[in-house]
Amino acid sequence: MSKFSSKFLPLALLSATLAAAPVISAYASSDDQNPKPAPTTHKGKKGKKSSSIDSPKFLAGYHAAYATIYSRHDYADAIDQLKALGHDDRADVANLLGYSYRKLGDYKLAQVWYERALKADPDHVRTWQYYGLWQLEQGNREQAEYHLRKIAELAGKDSPDYRSLAAALEQPPGTALVY
């Protein structure tokens, strides 16, 4: 084996290993019953406290809370789990806190958390969707339509988040929404 190939063989093997390794998806899913954590971006804001989305401890805690919400529907326990992560300044965490409070019927706290999520990441599509559903539950159809337009700008009209909120808006006012 030449000197050249013996120096680069370990690098090639490492590259192949990394390329073949399973990738943990950190993007929001299209299914309301099975969303994944969406990455929070801070667009160049240095010094902003944020855990790495691929931190094993953060991911394990987030996925445990996620399962508590979407599998067990235990929103109170999920709130405790999400707050215990210590990163409720992340849009994906704040959004799930808002969702959990909304499901518990605490609309004031849900609103606080949705707004906190959008402050952390104004482009967090799932928050625009969930907050739009919150608006509908409050009877604020015009605001829900604004949220729908925002989702269209960010993710397009073919996105699952857009379709979900659009379908809810198609229901007559006063209809019990199921989502």
Residue 34 tokens, joined:
């099975």
pTM of the full structure:
0.71
Residue 64 pLDDT level (bands cut at 50, 70, 90): very high
Please give the pLDDT value at position 49: 41
Gap between the Cα atoms of 153 and 34, Å rounded: 23
Mean pLDDT (the chain, rounded): 78
The pLDDT of 114-139, averaged and rounded, is 97
Q: Which helix (H) or strand (E) holds 164?
A: helix 160-170
- Assign domain 73-171 to its CATH architecture: Alpha Horseshoe (1.25)
Q: Give 173 or 116, the one with higher predicted confidence.
A: 116
Residue 176 pLDDT level (bands cut at 50, 70, 90): low
The pLDDT of 52-77, averaged and rounded, is 92
The pLDDT of 114-141, averaged and rounded, is 97
The pLDDT of 15-38, averaged and rounded, is 37
Ramachandran quadrant class, 68 (left: phi over 0; alpha: psi -120 to 50; beta: rest): alpha
